[in-house]
Structure 1
Amino acid sequence: MNSRNDMITERRDVPSVPASSALAVRKGTRRRAVVGVVASLAVVGFAGAMVAPTGMALADPPAEAATESAYSAALADTQNLTVTVEGAPITPLERGDFTIYVTPKPTPPPKPASTGGGGGGSLPPYTGGGVPAEWMAAAGIPESDWSYVDYIVSRESGWNPNATNRSSGACGLVQALPCSKVPGNGYNPVDNLRWGTGYANGRYGGWAGAYAFWTKNHWW
């Protein structure tokens, strides 16, 4: 029987909420909901504003944005630079040519010595006789240089007018290289010594200079 009284007592103990407070809670909830919706719409609008130009650019690029090729740009520049006086002919560009010599491998052996005059063919051996003093005198070498000439020629050819280097083709008393440079006959001792005098003067200033170089390097 006391259970009914207890329930009545418990209900009387629950505090009542004023009507004004409940209304305030409902208004605050609605306000937050409205603010959330407005914020979501703002984010969507901002994202759309950013994506729209990109999408339009990808969908239909403007004609002026087309990429120009390097060839067309160079061609346009070339045309812009072609300026001539009115009525003046345009001279065509002349281009030269060149050749490249590639040394064959293995290197072929030297060709037989030829005459200095360009006639070709092997030179005949020297059979005219004579001695070094006669040859030097006939070649116009002064006696003051004979000792230098004798030192070099003795080591180059042993005063053999027909001496020939098998590997290089050098010939004669002073071992002229190539033998075809010698005017006349490279195996003629007088012709060979005349060429040797010109070589010594042009490269070493004379036979004395050629001698000094030979003693240090063992060639000239």
Structure 2
Amino acid sequence: MRTDAIPTRRAMLLQIGVALKAMPWYSALPTISEYTIEHGWTKCFSRISDVGWVTYFFYLTVYLVFVEFGIYWMHRELHDVKPLYKYLHATHHIYNKQNTLSPFAGLAFHPLDGILQAVPHVLALFLVPTHFTTHIALLFIEGIWTANIHDCIHGKLWPVMGAGYHTIHHTTYRHNYGHYTIWMDWMFGTLRDPLDDEVKKI
């Protein structure tokens, strides 16, 4: 990585400050989802043995596809609907160059923006039978994942939406809205490959 691609201490401290203000609010959605689960309003089940491993992996696949689709469109609408962008998502997009992105940017959102992008995880509980512990684990992984895609280190593991793709999102605003994979961007015509950008620079 070039020296000028490393974020400044000031940029990282700003991101940490925004993230710390937002994180207490991020806990609201898991609290609500657990409340609905405890009251039996969702399709959650407590033990994999209740459904068997084959059915568990089928439901998990459906859950992940639903979440991928939901987060893609939620993220895209946060760009396309101007008031949503201006009052919510722009807080995150002040980090619009490689040398302002760091893992801390992955949690530096307006609180409502962060909650909206996690809503598909909760909606899925009402539509897809979901193993409770797996749901909680995926919410935890969400925090790690969002830090990972903001670290500017592209792992080049197709079809994963790595940091190379997400850095392009932060510099163009119109590409790579996806979450864990590039499939939704490919399907809906918003994919831009960082390898293509590297070839153009040569």
When normalised by structure 1's length, the TM-score is 0.22
Taking CA–CA contacts closer than 8 Å with sequence separation of 6 or more, which of the two structures ends up with the larger relative contact order? 2
Higher helix share: 2
When normalised by structure 2's length, the TM-score is 0.23
